[in-house]
Each structure stands twice: as C-alpha cells, then as structure tokens.
Amino acid sequence: MSFWEKGYLATGLAVLVAGSGYFAIVWKQSLALGSLAPPNWILFSAYLVVLMALSGVSFLLLGRAEARSDDGPEVGDFDERDRLIRMKSLSATSHVLSLGVYVPLVWFLFHQSGDLLFHSLIGGLVLAEATMCFLHVFNYNRAY
C-alpha cells in the first residue's frame, strides 16, 4: 500500500469513528430528553477535535513508518497516478455530498426542525468524507 492509500484508509476510519461517537452521544441525549437533542458547540467542537487528532496522529505514524523504509519514493510524493485517482474520487464524492445536503434540506421543509437539519447535515458530511476516503482506497486498488 502506498503512503496516500494508507493515509486515506486511516482518515476514513477516523471519520467513521468520530462520526459514530458524535451520533452515539446525540442518540443518548435525545433519549434522555425525549426528543431530538439540540446541537451544541461543545459536542460539535469535540467531534472536530477528535477527528483532527485521529487523522493527524495516523498521518504522523504513517509518515514515520514510511520514512524508516528507504525502498521507495520520498514520503508524500504525489505523482500523476495520484492526481488521476484524486480526480476520480472527488468527482464521485461530489454526488454523495450533494445528496447529503439536499436530503436534509428537503426534510427541513417537511419537519421544520433546525435540530434535525443540523444533525442531518453533519451526517451527510460524515458520509461524504468517508466516501471520499474509501473511494481513494478503492481507486488505488484498481491500479490506474
């Protein structure tokens, strides 16, 4: 596996872990309240910090592991194959992101709940980011 492939896999897993944690806490808060929990800055900030920490630590560890092995190109080299894979992955991800934004907006028209809109948009963004990372890994394995 290349450095970028491992990095995208680690980031995709970090997005899923942080997103699952966010929604598990919202679920518990909603059960305690008896209705959908309102969004709050502390939970959202904690989600972002956990996501950045997991992604950052995984890239640091991968960079150290790659730097120890001197049998390939420099750590983080980005060649034409990487550019093609990135372009293909981002083009498909844009459709998932659009769906993840438009569906919550339609739900908002029917339910008129800003809380539902906020949490649904976070879910759409988590889904789009994880899709992007895993599409990168998928396209690397297709050997373009």
The mean per-residue pLDDT over the stretch 10-15 comes to 94
Q: How far is CA 23 from the centre of its chain?
A: 14
Domain ranges of the chain: 3-70+78-141
Sequence-separated (6 or more) residues with CB below 8 Å from residue 72 = 66
* CA–CA separation, 41 and 59 (whole Å): 27
Instruction: Classify residue 128 by burial, with Cβ atoms within 10 Å: 0-12, 13-18, 19+.
Output: buried
Q: What is the pTM of this model?
A: 0.84
Please give the residue that has the higher pLDDT: either 2 or 139.
139
**pLDDT tens profile 75-116:** 556 678 888 888 999 999 999 999 999 999 999 999 999 999
The mean per-residue pLDDT over the stretch 138-143 comes to 84
**Predicted confidence (pLDDT) at residue 123 exceeds the cutoff of 70:** yes
**pLDDT tens profile 31-83:** 999 999 999 999 999 999 999 999 889 888 887 877 666 555 555 566 788 88
Q: Specify the pLDDT at position 143.
A: 61
Cα Rg of the chain, angstroms: 18
